[in-house]
Amino acid sequence: MSFSFNLSLPVVKEGSSKTCRTPTDAAGILADTATLAQEAFTVLTLDTKNHVLDRHLITLGILDASLVHPREVFRPAIQDGAAAILVSHNHPSGDPTPSAEDIRITRQLVEAGKVLDVQVLDHVVIGRGETPFTSLRESGLVNFGK
């Protein structure tokens, strides 16, 4: 009797030189979304030292809305072996003030992240002008834990 095993080990990714420790870091990485005519919901996957593993476009919505579900948000985090994520979307109006729906989905993502042991560090809303972004963590609108 013989057994054969097909063993495949994951590829080790080289660490990125980009780190994302602050909302300002995230806004810089995602600045190209500020001028989009549609809402784009993006996830930055991060390692344990907040190095950016990858950037993923989750959904591309319409002028003032984007459909987001935790399943789609955390899929790339799990595939990348991320310790944490930072989520972001743009407001085509240029006003980065979070909507009630932005706050609701962020709370939902934080709870899902707890179950998956992938910390949601922040949700940064990208706008333009004098106030180019809003951090839901810094604004105190959502409790991110830790």
Tally of domains within the chain: 1
Give the domain CATH number at 121. Answer: 3.40.140.10
pLDDT of 15 above 90: no
Domain membership flag for residue 84: yes
CB 135 within 8 A of CB 122: yes
User: How does residue 67 score in pLDDT terms, banded at 50, 70 and 90?
Assistant: confident
Domain membership flag for residue 3: no
pLDDT tens-digit map of 38-49: 999 999 999 999
In this prediction, residue 3 carries a pLDDT of 62
pLDDT of 64 above 70: no
Number of alpha carbons in the 13 Å side-chain half-sphere of residue 20: 30
Domain membership flag for residue 117: yes
Domain membership flag for residue 6: no
What separation in angstroms does the CA of 11 have from each of 8, 79, 94? 9, 11, 40
CB 39 within 8 A of CB 68: no
Q: 86 is in which domain, residue-wise?
A: 23-139
pLDDT tens-digit map of 128-146: 989 999 999 999 999 998 6
Domain membership flag for residue 115: yes
Place of tokens 């790339």: 76
